[in-house]
Amino acid sequence: MMKSEVLVARKVFPPVLERLRRHFEVEANEADTIWDSAELTRRLQGKAGAFTTGSERIDGALLAACPRLRAVCNMAVGYNNIDVDACTARGVLVTNTPEVLTETTADFGFALMMAAARRMAESERFLRSGEWKKWSYDMFTGSDVHGSTLAILGMGRIGQAIARRGALGFGMKVIYHNRARLPAAVEAPLNARYVERDALFREADHLLLVVPYSPASHHAVGATELALMKPTATLTNIARGGVVDDAALAQALRERRIAAAGLDVFEGEPRVHPYLLAVPNVVLTPHIASATVATRLAMADLAADNLIAALGCGPHAGRPPTPVNPGVLTGR
């Protein structure tokens, strides 16, 4: 039987690529170049499947130009790089990689929040620059994490994993806001209290953003929300660039209207707003919340499992483990 053709749009772990080659004719992006839409469209000609990451934009125009495409398997839990409705309309299956990164991403979100609260990046820069001459009573005093109020915007799997760390490990009071309130049985062990949106900003000692990006969550945190926050509060974004208005945040940080921020994601990344680079009270990391070897391998394996099954191969042929638009499968 002729093997289907697939495109692996970014560099991946060699064993994952090998596994895909057992089932497909694979065109792989060994140079790990970021292809623009025109190049991606050209490379996808004749391909039945695409293994993508958050850096590839799959939209209606691309789909129209790639009529043989049947599956787009994203190596990420987020899929705001993909127009899912356009895929569904054309019978293209979309898959993502939930669950496998939940705990790793929660670890990182918590660490970033702690780094912001305890001024780790700022104080490390101070030490490295040779400015540390003596101990002093108020040097890099930050705000406590233990016993404080942890506010979570977006209480999905990762939000809940962060809440667990805060409530059980650090005795934090957990408040959250979400599209829908969680069942009491989920709230109870997390000691989590649902609050209205404005109350979340007002009551937060440490605000964690974990909402998926969509037009509805664009600039969910801007000047208005930042103005509600305590001057001692921190904000940590591990969701997506665009959930925060980066310019408004930089301004609030510069004027110390909030104490500090931890940011792993940025509007228009890998570009970072120059004002954010210029303020000291922010910890900046390059979109690495899920970046442990084990978790990135699990994500790549899951994306490959999805692609293999979506194109009718392997032990789960026709039943990809984590579809985003499963309705497409029933129509096949």
Angle among Cα 290, 220, 80 to the nearest 5 degrees reads 50
Contact pattern for ligand DGY over residues 96 through 125, marking x by CB under 6 A: -----x------------------------
Q: Does residue 290 bind ligand DGY (CB under 6 A)?
A: yes
- What distance in Å separates the CA atoms of residue 31 and residue 197, rounded to the nearest whole number? 44
Among 16, 63, 77, 226, binds ligand DGY (CB under 6 A): 77
Asked if 240 is an active-site residue, the reply is yes
Residue 309 CB, shortest distance to ligand DGY, in Å, is: 20
- What distance in Å separates the CA atoms of residue 261 and residue 252, rounded to the nearest whole number? 10
Asked if 269 is an active-site residue, the reply is yes
The interface region with ligand DGY, picked from 8-16, 74-82, 133-141, 183-191 by CB under 6 A, is 74-82
Among 46, 78, 312, 321, binds ligand DGY (CB under 6 A): 78
Contact pattern for ligand DGY over residues 27 through 66, marking x by CB under 6 A: ---------------------------x------------
Q: What is the CA radius of gyration of the chain?
A: 22
306: CB partners within 8 A, 6+ apart = 71, 73, 95, 320, 321, 322, 323
Q: Does residue 152 bind ligand DGY (CB under 6 A)?
A: no
**Beta carbon nearer to ligand DGY, 142 or 241:** 241
- What distance in Å separates the CA atoms of residue 174 and residue 286, rounded to the nearest whole number? 27
* Backbone angles phi and psi of 263, in degrees to 5: -125, 125
Q: Does residue 76 bind ligand DGY (CB under 6 A)?
A: yes
Distance of CA 102 to the CA centre of its chain: 10
Closest to 155 (Cα-Cα) out of 180, 134, 136 = 180
Binding site for ligand DGY (CB under 6 A): 54, 76-78, 101, 290
Q: Which are the catalytic amino acids?
A: 240, 269, 287
